[in-house]
Structure 1
Amino acid sequence: MVYSRRDFLTTAAMAAAGYAHARPVVSRPLTIDAHVHVWANGVAFPFAGGANVPAGLDASVETLVRRMEQNHVARTVLIQVIHYKWDNRYLVDCLRRYPKMFAGVCRVNPEDPDAADQLSHWTEQGCRGVRLSPAADASGDWIRGARMAALWKRCEELRVPMTLLIPASRLADVQPLIERHPELTVVIDHMADCAIDDEKGQAQLLALARYPRVFVKITHLWSLSRQAYPFRDTFALVARVCDAFGSQRIMGGTDWPIKTELAGYEQRLALYRDALTFLNTDERKDVLFGTVQRVWPFGL
């Protein structure tokens, strides 16, 4: 790489103290947001029972489109929000209303014996991937269960990415699945939410770099950090992930509108456009749009 990651890591403390000098951005490259949630407050698309929906928050697709236009975001990958669980109708409605603007990742019930057929159904409706989210406790043990075989196989047959919202403690559980499906594109969300001091978890995440179809979203910096924006104490982790996987397999995303009290939509975009100064020009383009285009091609 043109810029030595080792140089960055040795100066991280100075950066945290405010001494880092950000290189000027000469032009703003194309931006594709790899991770956003939307939902509608109304009777047309009812939430699942027990959903914990933030009160008073406008997360509609119309609001997202305005934010994208205001901030020069060309395309966005919509990730089915947990508020609807396995009912992906609002997601599909958004895809149909804005067919050129969005790609969609659905959810299916991983404990349902018909999960693979559910995935086929939602793929026929326009979705281009599925997201699984096993919990760290025993309730997430289904990720090691027999029903994963059919679902992962179907995902591979449909040629749609398998996206994983997964804690670092579950990385060992998915490694055998990745090995059994070498042609399947697998996306690890939020760097598996590895804590910045979790060396074991980070080592398990970085070990997945040996599988060429595994990609990582370098997101959730706002949640992983113990500092205020721009969350410089997470930069060393991002640099390690970039070194291990290469910039062509990492991507940024805003995770809007989750926890916007930690960082707004515009701030999250600026993280990838400006703040990660250890990325060279080509690496930044991969993070902003190149990698997500490889996983979810938009035809731009």
Structure 2
Amino acid sequence: MNNRRHFLTTTLGAALGTQVSSCAALTSAGGHIDAHVHVWTPDTEKYPLAAGYKKADMAPPSFTPEQLFAHCKPEGVNRIVLIQMSYYKTDNRYMLDMMAAHPGTFSGVAIIDEKAPDIRGRMKALKAQGVRGFRLVPQGADATAWFDSPGITEMWKVAADENLNMCLLINPEALGPVAKMCEKNPQTPVVIDHFARLGMKGPADRAQLDRLLHLSKYPKVTVKTSAFYALGKKQPPYLDLGPMIKECRDHFGADRLMWASDCPFQVDPGHNYHDSISLIRDRLDFLTASERAAMLHGTAERVFFS
């Protein structure tokens, strides 16, 4: 962990020093879209960490939009979906401020407290600020009970009414309860992050992959092909993930898949941004040009920027 922090602090600090006016160069016209990135700032006075977190937990200590641009701009990525970072929990201000500071560059996925009042009002207020999704992470051992709780149930209803995405960070064990939610809420847009973390603990289990592929029967479900650094062999060029991506393509279609890096973790030592995007853009020969375009641009644009 110390080596990782040192590496990212030095390399990203150097990138920040050399990056000038990159935000002005990133426009909303053309280019690729990275559908999953976290940003945060070392300025914990203006943007305090949530209870339970301290500065030592921030690894790297800083990952600002400018530091991100140093990685994504050379690869032709000019729009990004920001995912609210857990360090801030339900205080979405830093993400929202970065979205406002870089018009046309960012969409956002926020976190709210599903137990607080006026869920509909809070979701609509965030939508007005450019948020297009809400991150849900099942709490407790019983995912079914959590999804059935009043606040989560209300969130899925509002998401259907407002065309907002329920963005699910789940483990494979939650795929069954997710299917039940999709059955009950067929008009709610759903995004599965990181293949539901299939392969995080080794080769993807066949039965679990089948449960992910089963979600393709629900037209409103899309899947992020992302976090390659954390799945399968966890080694670039990540070709071992090709068969799982192919099966997702075969079942969902490329227009329901979207590439994402999961930065800054994708640029940990031993990994880099280029190898992540290159897997989809350059290396998987079963993908057609139109399928690559969908995964690198079209799907995320429709889901998060339209």
Indicate the residue corresponding to 2:240 in structure 1: 233
Whether 1:145 and 2:149 are equivalent positions in the alignment is: yes
The 1:256/1:277 distance shift into structure 2, 3 A limit, reads: same
- What is the Cα deviation at residue 258 of structure 1? 1.8
Find 2:99's aligned residue among 78, 92, 95. Answer: 95
**Cα offset, 1:35, TM superposition:** 0.7
Question: Would you say 1:270 and 2:278 are equivalent positions?
Answer: yes
Larger helix share, 1 or 2: 2
Whole-angstrom CA distance in 2 between matches of 1:64 and 1:206? 32
From 162, 166, 169, give the equivalent of 1:158.
162
Per-residue deviation, 1:246:
0.6
**Structure 2 residue 220 is matched with structure 1 residue 219:** no
Residue correspondence of structure 1 range 168-207 to structure 2 within 5 A: 168-195=172-199, 196-207=203-214
Given that 1:191 and 1:216 are in contact with CA atoms closer than 8 Å, whether structure 2 keeps it comes out as yes
Q: What is the distance in 1 between the residues matched to 2:305 and 2:234?
A: 35
For residues 90 and 63 of structure 1, what CA distance do their matches in structure 2 show? 15
Q: 1:296 to 1:197 in 2, by over 3 A?
A: closer
- The CA deviation string for residues 200-223 of structure 1, in whole angstroms up to 9 with x for no partner, is 211111001011111000112221
Correspondence for 2:302: 294
Q: Shift of residue 290 of structure 1? A: 1.2
Q: Indicate conservation of the 8 Å contact 1:35/1:255, yes or no.
A: yes
Corresponding residue for residue 45 of structure 1: 47
TM-aligned CA deviation for residue 170 of structure 1: 0.7
TM-score normalised by structure 2 residue count: 0.82
Q: Which amino acid aligns with 2:209?
A: Q
Aligned residue among 259, 272, 290 for 1:252? 259
Q: CA deviation at 1:276?
A: 2.0
Return the letter of the residue paired with 2:36: H
1 CA distance for matches of 2:131 and 2:234? 36
Shift of 1:122: 1.9
Distance, in Å, in 2 between the alignment partners of 1:174 and 1:193 is 14
Higher mean Cα deviation, 199-208 or 179-188? 179-188
Tell me how far 1:114 sits from its aligned partner: 4.2
Instruction: Give CA-to-partner distance per residue, 1:96-144, whole Å, 9 cap, x none.
Output: 1111111111011234454443322322333121110115734884223
CA contact (8 A) 1:111 1:142 kept: no
Matched residue SS, 1:252: strand
Structural RMSD (CA): 2.1
151-160 or 248-257, which moves further after superposition?
151-160
Deviates more, 1:264-273 or 1:81-90: 264-273
Alignment of 1:81-120 (within 5 A): 81-120=85-124
**Cα distance in 1, alignment partners of residues 272 and 119 from structure 2:** 35
| In 2, Cα distance between equivalents of 1:203 and 1:272 | 22
Q: Deviations over 1:251-282 (max 9, x none)?
A: 10010002523521222122222122221111
Q: Identity across aligned pairs (percent)?
A: 33
Deviations 1:154-211 (A, max 9, x none): 1111211111111111111122221222222111111101123311211111001011
Match of 1:128 in 2: 132
Residues 23-42 of structure 1 mapped to structure 2, 5 A cutoff: 30-42=31-43
Q: Distance in 1 between matches of 2:183 and 2:168?
A: 15
Instruction: Name the counterpart of 1:65.
Output: 69
Aligned residue for 2:23?
A: none
Check whether the contact 2:239–2:279 (CA below 8 A) recurs between aligned residues.
no
What CA deviation, in whole Å up to 9, does each residue of 1:67-98 have, x standing for no partner?
A: 33333212111111111111100011011111
The TM-score normalised by the length of structure 1 is 0.83
Cα–Cα, structure 1 residues 207 and 56, in superposed 2: closer, same or farther, change >3 Å?
Answer: closer
Match of residue 8 from structure 1? none
Q: Which letter maps to 2:37?
A: V
Segments of structure 1 that go 5 or more residues without pairing to the other structure are: 1-28
Offset at residue 45 of structure 1 (A) = 0.8
